[in-house]
Amino acid sequence: MFDLAILGGGPAGYTAAAKAAKAGKMVILFEREALGGTCLNVGCIPTKTLLYSAKQYANALQADKYGVCAEKVSFDYGKIQLRKQKIVRKLAAGIRQQLKDVTIVTGEAHVEKYAAEQVTLVVDETRYEAANLLICTGSVNFVPPIPGIEGNERIWSSTEALAAKQLPESIIIIGGGVIGMEFATLYMELGVKVTVIEAMPRILPNFDEEMVTMLQQRYAKQGVTFLTNTRVHEIKEDKVFFSEANTTTGGMLRADRILVCVGRRPDLTGLEALTTLEFDRRGIKVNDFMQTNLPNVYAAGDVTGKLMLAHVASRQAEVAVGRMLKQIPLQRIAYNAIPSVVYSNPEIASVGLSESEACQFFMEMEGKTAEQVADKYQVHKLPMTFSGRFMAENEGENGLAKMIIDSRTNTVLGVQLYGNPCSEFIAAAAFAVRMGYTLPEFQQVVFPHPTASEILKELL
Ligand code: NAD
């Protein structure tokens, strides 16, 4: 019997497997497709690879801004795709190496029988037993109930968009969230005509409004059309019929391809026999240590629906295995200090509370209006151009940095950044939020000069 069976080999699954095996546990991991899960195979890594090629191309087109002459700039999408595949292959080999002491079974596993001390799983006709189960089955694309989606060959999910060998001439992206904006960036930079349709009043509803407005204005200048507050009610072949929310005003647009990215849902395949497993509104219900309501069954990653981010998944997996191994001190996850990035160009990065979230938080806590709580928090704000390195490398860009401070305790509540390469230094801000740094403490940290990260000090 194995000590631990893991369902799913994405960031949660492989992180947990490596940690438990390192501690000397007998681990078996089931993966029906490829090790690395959505993140490595059809998510984070392939998109970042394609986006980097697109950025290189866009930079080459504007080389003149930096006094560099680049003529007849072009790209080969086939080569861009091949490079993506090569990187994915190399990283998959790295994961396999990390899991050399883990039994890996390729196939779709189903829980067959559950008892408090033993879980039986079956793949095809073969049975496996384990003392503990960790569910890391991830998530699948959510397909909204819009008539005309099913069976329409023009419709892409993000997985199909990533695999496409050729670029469309035009694309309508339904959903202006993180995935939608990453693909909008890719296609815009490679010269595809892009339209983004978003149901909410603004794209990227979870990010700082001012920064998102700057990004949207910039993309609009580059030719992207945004229809916000807009609902798609039908799709017929290449035609998308939409209307403005709560009105009958609407219209129709057509495009070569239609990309649907309106969120993801937990993947519960293989769990049918766990009839008493409890769920909350987002996914499998877990406590702070990733334990479900069933003794010896844990869950980590997108299947818990907490925050669908690969770095959250791997941290949740560490916590789950830590609990299973009875490691002390028991670790919890600081969900208030999870950094989050939109890989647009320029990038947006955020950790902790934004200005509007801080306002909302104090309004709810004090039962007062926005004006009445305005003195409860301070917003420090500065264009990124106050960083010399940012100026050197971002010709014609302004960028923006914000830090939100709790006036009562003088601690850092959140940081939002807009400008390249903010994804690379948001971790410094995450550290400050996680550790509850006060401003004087944060001011003692020395940032290397010249780097764009210095903006975090300039802000204060
Ligand atoms: P999302 O929830 O980020 O965005 C979906 C967007 O679609 C929302 O803005 C929503 O208002 C809109 N929407 C919903 N229904 C709609 C409809 N019928 N018509 C028009 N718009 C509609 O989801 P996503 O972008 O699909 O990403 C899925 C998950 O993957 C998210 O949890 C995301 O955080 C994660 N992810 C993260 C990253 C990253 O951190 N860089 C990258 C990719 C994916």
Neighbours of 144 (CB within 10 A): 13
Query: For ligand 1, what atom is nearest to the CA of residue 200?
Result: 11
Task: Kindly tell me the burial class for residue 221, based on how many C-beta atoms sit within 10 Å of its own C-beta (0-12, 13-18, 19 or more).
Answer: exposed
Q: What is the pLDDT of residue 70?
A: 96
Q: 396 φ, ψ to 5°? A: 80, 5
Residue 348's SS3 state is strand
Neighbours of 163 (CB within 10 A): 14
Query: For ligand 1, what atom is nearest to the CA of residue 158?
Result: 26
Query: For ligand 1, what atom is nearest to the CA of residue 302?
Result: 32
Among residues 163, 148, 151, the alpha carbon closest in space to that of 78 is found at: 163
Reported confidence tier of residue 330, pLDDT bands at 50, 70, 90 = low
Going through 8-152 in order, the beta strands assigned E by DSSP cover: 27-31, 103-106, 109-115, 118-123, 126-135, 139-141
Question: What is the whole-number distance in angstroms between the Cα of residue 327 and the centre of ligand 1?
Answer: 36
d(CA 409, CA 296): 40
d(CA 459, CA 384): 9
Counting other chains too, the contacts that 164-168 makes at CB distance below 8 Å and 24 or more residues apart are: 165/77, 165/78, 165/81, 166/77, 167/77, 167/191, 167/192, 168/192, 168/255, 168/256, 168/257
Rounded to two decimals, the pTM is: 0.96
Angle between helices 310-324 and 11-22 (to 10 degrees): 30
Question: What is the whole-number distance in angstroms between the Cα of residue 455 and the centre of ligand 1?
Answer: 29
**Segment 94-137, tens digit of pLDDT:** 999 999 999 999 999 999 999 988 999 999 999 999 999 999 99
Mutate which of 264, 303, 307, 424 for ligand 1? The one with the most ligand atoms within 8 Å of its CB, which is 264
Instruction: Write out residues with Cβ below 6 Å of ligand 1.
Output: 144, 174-180, 182, 197-200, 205, 231-232, 261-264, 308-309, 340-343
Question: What is the whole-number distance in angstroms between the Cα of residue 175 and the centre of ligand 1?
Answer: 6
Q: Encoding tokens for residue 228?
A: 């916000």
Q: What is the pLDDT of residue 247?
A: 75
Active site positions, annotated: 449
